[in-house]
Amino acid sequence: MPTSAERLAQSLQTLTALGDEAPRIFTQLYPDAAREAAQAADQRAARGLSLGPLDGKLVSVKDLLDVAGQVTTAGAAMRRSSAPAAQDAPVVQRLRAAGAVIVGKTNMTEFAFSGVGINPHFGTPGNAADVLRIPGGSSSGAGVSVGRGLVDIAIGSDTGGSVRIPAAFNGVTGFKPTQARVTRDGAFPLSHTLDALGPLARTVAECAAADSILAGDIPQPLPQRSLQGLRIGLPQGLPWTDCSEAVLSQTDNAVALLHAQGASIRKLPWQALMAAPSQLQSEGTLIAAEAAAIHQQALVYERDAFDPRVLSRMDKGRSLSAPYYIQLLLQRQQWMAKMDAAMQEVDLLLLPTIATTAPRIAPLLEDDSAFFAANALILRNTSIFNFYDLPAISLPLPRIAGSMPVGMMLVGARMQDRALLAMAAAAEQALANA
């Protein structure tokens, strides 16, 4: 089995061979520090010592997390000249303490404000399955770094789906925790109300181990969970509309497989619960309002430096009134209580992560209307569960030859993150054995 140092050398060699594509995936690389960390992990391993499941694992971090001595660009050209971070974000400190080998920072949508993954300043990384297609955002480089096998684990942020979307599009696993479990200190914000930090990896077990470290917990193996008798709900309504044939057929196949393994599948008449987040925010979103507040000065004095598509969405946030925003927050609390009560009926929810597979980059670069339509559809399903603050994971469905990756989303009860991960691991095993 290759050592951590050998795997790092292979990853860096691959990045070199990628040429111009490499800086579209990684905005910053830390080869010297990574080599030191990998060698230290290998020395521990040679002595039979381990700091835990992340010891010697190759890890990337999204470029909105502070790394000591480095500029946190958050995907924005205007931040290239910002002062370097004084210290690592707490989650980065925890990763280092767990023996993780931090390879570098990954590219992202400007200020994390899009699910597409296009960035006019740093370039757009091509999808791991087809470089002519979008990577998904906003954690675009994170999804590609895992999808291409450049790292074992990537740390992203998820405000409306920005971990689960690139995971689904790039054929990997992505986990959004219940927000309160992982500190967001040292992470450049998009929405104080909705931001969450989570991992992307090849397996549920790796996501679970990384999540434990991010949350400051001691990693433990996930409990074994059987699919027999597992109550899986399919929330009807919005999540299943306007889905591509590939997404629907592969999701249906997965549902049938889980049912054959003993899971109890039930369609849930939750049309109102699924539609409420978008209906309540029809005049403007919490994200837009809070982003406009965070970037208040730049929206006046540095307008030309923004990605125009990000600027237009933030401008909408500037026009929202304080009463509208406060009412949204109050209504959200009421609907969260309704959802928490409804979740008692099932063990988890199942639905498509995204309604479509990854579209091509070029048409979305050229046409604003096509971009915004794609962005809305891509974010639709995932953003529901940021609104309700429920833990959610995207699992890659078995690939059909010649097709693009499809993700299946599983959603658990609030603060029952470990239970969801255990159920997801059971589903993952069933899919792998299909």
d(CA 434, CA 54): 29
Catalytic residue numbers, as ranges: 62, 138, 162
| HEC profile of 294-358 | HCCCHHHHCHHHCCHHHHHHHHHHHCCCHHHHHHHHHHHHHHHHHHHHHHHHCCEEEEECCCCCC
Contact 319, 284 (CB under 8 A): yes
d(CA 76, CA 91): 22
d(CA 157, CA 141): 12
Task: Kindly provide the b/e burial profile for residues 79-106, where b requires at least 16 CB atoms within 10 angstroms of the residue's own CB.
Answer: beeeeebeebbbbbebbbebbbbbbbbb
Place of tokens 């390879």: 103
Place of tokens 């906003």: 138
Place of tokens 């990684």: 26
Task: Kindly provide the b/e burial profile for residues 241-270, where b requires at least 16 CB atoms within 10 angstroms of the residue's own CB.
Answer: eebbebbeebbebbbebbeebebeeeebeb
Pairing relation of β-strands 173-176 and 153-157?
Answer: unpaired
d(CA 125, CA 152): 18
d(CA 177, CA 193): 14
